[in-house]
Amino acid sequence: MRELLKKFENRQPEIVFEWSDSETEAEGWLVIDSLRGGAAGGDTRMKKGLEKKDVIQLAKNTAIKYTISGPPIGGAKAGINFDPEDPRKEGVLKRWFHVVSPILKSYFGTGAGIHISESKELIPLTENHGLWHPQEGIVTGHFTPEGPKKIRKIGQLRQGLSKIIENPDYFPPGSAKYRVSDMITGFGLAAAVLHYYQLWGGSATGKKAMIQGWGNVGAAAAYFLAKEGVQVVGILSLEGAIIDPDGLDEAAITKLFLSKEKNKLVSTKRIPFEEGNEKFWNLSADIFIPAAKSRLVDKAKLEKLMAGGLTLIASGANFPFAENDIFMGPISTLADEKISLIPDFISNVGISRLAAYLMSDRVLLTDEALFGDVSKTIHKALKQCHQAQASPNKIAQTALEIALQQLG
């Protein structure tokens, strides 16, 4: 595996498009690791301090993810180094999409990443440049469909990614309307945990979990886990933390989910971040869901979690561990060898798999079909790992080797 990984990490991206904004200090990169299958995909993000090397690493991670989610295409990522709170953001994005729109029409498909709104920014700006959908390049480059087939696939993407959930099994009762795309990544994280126990033994019911991050992914994962009887003992967000060693049940987690304001943790029980950050890493729990920013979990934090009895990590964030390596650095390797680590390219596959399903020829636009397909995809990936490695250790290394063999 290490030889395959070294070869993959050292391979230069097939395409690196560099951009300097003419009116601000913004700079951006579109990195296409490869045009495997005639196309590549990956989200577009904006972050102050973002560097080209970060975008290259994310593109490689997306390449691995596509071996799980499909379609069999190359990984890519678009990133803009600019403060998303700057009032000039709209102009920056307009100029960025102006220069990349020909690529988006031909062989690159994108989604809304960090600090980019799909409905307010990504879709309107790409439509202004003649795109039917931000994923159009994948449909064109990979599927090469004739006119009516292309129109149908684009229509499925537009309808499915904006679909409002109707089945109450997939969103909190009494809540506002949620789109499938709002809930499906967190749902996939919870599904990864449930499938882990099904395959390696045991039950999620009664287990204690810690959630790092309270955005769409972390909050939805907590909600779906709580529905299965998991007790949430700690939630850590930038606003502060909620610590309850006895565990928050489904009713309490649902209330927190419904009360969040723009992905911020809101509660009278919330304690300041500094105090919460100290208590959070010393909790005793079975399951840890890192669903905040990348590279936040250092070795000391991991060792505290393991000392508290942690047995399973299901990654919601890309690169959750504070290491420079793209894959399997010293901290993630430690976690993988001592406990069970489900890598982000399996557990965080929800939105990628949703898009892949919507591009297929046989699509059912029902909540049951869309969520069920994501669950089946994650189960299939974990089952392959279990067949290759029955031990609950080295799941991530096994999964990575399976993916790298597919990429050649």
DSSP state letters, 216-251: HHHHHHHHHHHHTT-EEEEEEETTEEEEEEEEE-HH
pLDDT > 90? residue 307: yes
Asked if residue 188 and residue 66 are part of one domain, the reply reads no
Digit-coded pLDDT (tens) for 125-153: 999 999 999 999 999 999 999 999 999 99
> Nearest CA to 407 among 108, 15, 66, 76?
66
Tell me, what's the pLDDT at 107?
98
Of 124, 144, 164, which residue is a domain's last?
A: 144
Asked if residue 324 and residue 247 are part of one domain, the reply reads yes
User: 175-184, 210-219, 265-274: which range is least confident on average?
Assistant: 175-184
263: region left, alpha or beta (phi > 0 left; psi from -120 to 50 alpha): left
Asked if residue 110 and residue 238 are part of one domain, the reply reads no
Domain membership of residue 60 (yes or no) is yes
Asked if residue 225 and residue 138 are part of one domain, the reply reads no
Percentage of the residues of the chain whose pLDDT score is greater than 90:
94
Determine the Cα–Cα distance for residues 174 and 292; give it in Å rounded to an integer: 27
User: At residue 107, what is the residue type?
Assistant: Y
Q: How many CB atoms lie within 10 A of CB 186?
A: 27
> Nearest CA to 69 among 380, 392, 405, 390?
380
Asked if residue 208 and residue 139 are part of one domain, the reply reads no
Of 128, 144, 160, which residue is a domain's last?
A: 144
Domain membership of residue 186 (yes or no) is yes
Domain membership of residue 155 (yes or no) is no
Asked if residue 273 and residue 378 are part of one domain, the reply reads yes
The CATH number linked to 99 is 3.40.50.10860
Establish whether the linkage from the previous residue to 71 is cis, with ω within 30° of 0: yes
> Nearest CA to 68 among 161, 221, 192?
192
Digit-coded pLDDT (tens) for 363-391: 999 999 999 999 999 999 999 999 999 99
Q: Number of structural domains, the chain?
A: 2
Domain membership of residue 174 (yes or no) is no
Domain membership of residue 151 (yes or no) is no
pLDDT band at 177 (very low <50, low <70, confident <90, very high): confident
- Give the residue carrying structure tokens 């080295």: 394
Tell me, what's the pLDDT at 408?
77
The CATH number linked to 326 is 3.40.50.720
What does residue 269 show for φ and ψ, rounded to 5 degrees? -90, 0
* 391: Cβ contacts below 8 Å, ≥ 6 apart: none
> Nearest CA to 358 among 179, 163, 167, 83?
163
Q: How many CB atoms lie within 10 A of CB 168?
A: 11
Asked if residue 264 and residue 135 are part of one domain, the reply reads no
Q: How many CB atoms lie within 10 A of CB 90?
A: 12
User: At residue 42, what is the residue type?
Assistant: G
Look up the domain containing 43 and give its range: 6-144
Domain membership of residue 159 (yes or no) is no
pLDDT > 90? residue 223: yes
Structure tokens at 204: 């999620």
Domain membership of residue 402 (yes or no) is no
Strands (E), 261-350: 287-290, 312-314, 340-342
Structure tokens at 361: 């020829």
* 26: Cβ contacts below 8 Å, ≥ 6 apart: 20, 80, 81, 82, 92, 96
pLDDT > 70? residue 357: yes
* 149: Cβ contacts below 8 Å, ≥ 6 apart: 143
Letter string b/e over residues 131-142, b meaning 16 or more CB atoms within 10 A of that residue's CB: bbbbbbbbbbbb
Asked if residue 92 and residue 32 are part of one domain, the reply reads yes
pLDDT > 80? residue 175: no
Structure tokens at 18: 């560099």
Asked if residue 286 and residue 228 are part of one domain, the reply reads yes
User: At residue 205, what is the residue type?
Assistant: T
Asked if residue 187 and residue 123 are part of one domain, the reply reads no
CA angle 324, 327, 328 (to 5 degrees): 95
Asked if residue 209 and residue 136 are part of one domain, the reply reads no
Percentage of the residues of the chain whose pLDDT score is greater than 70:
100
Digit-coded pLDDT (tens) for 224-263: 999 999 999 999 999 999 999 999 999 999 999 999 998 8
> Nearest CA to 364 among 158, 135, 156?
156
> What is this structure's pTM?
0.95
Compute the half-sphere exposure of residue 365: CA atoms within 13 Å on the CB side of its CA.
Answer: 16
User: 61-70, 189-198, 225-234, 260-269: which range is least confident on average?
Assistant: 260-269
Domain membership of residue 356 (yes or no) is yes
Asked if residue 304 and residue 243 are part of one domain, the reply reads yes
Helix, strand or coil, per DSSP, at residue 86 = coil
Task: Give the number of residues written for the chain.
Answer: 408
Query: What is the DSSP code (8-state) at residue 362?
Result: S
Torsion, Cα of 257, 263, 266, 269 (10° steps): 70
Mean pLDDT of the chain: 96
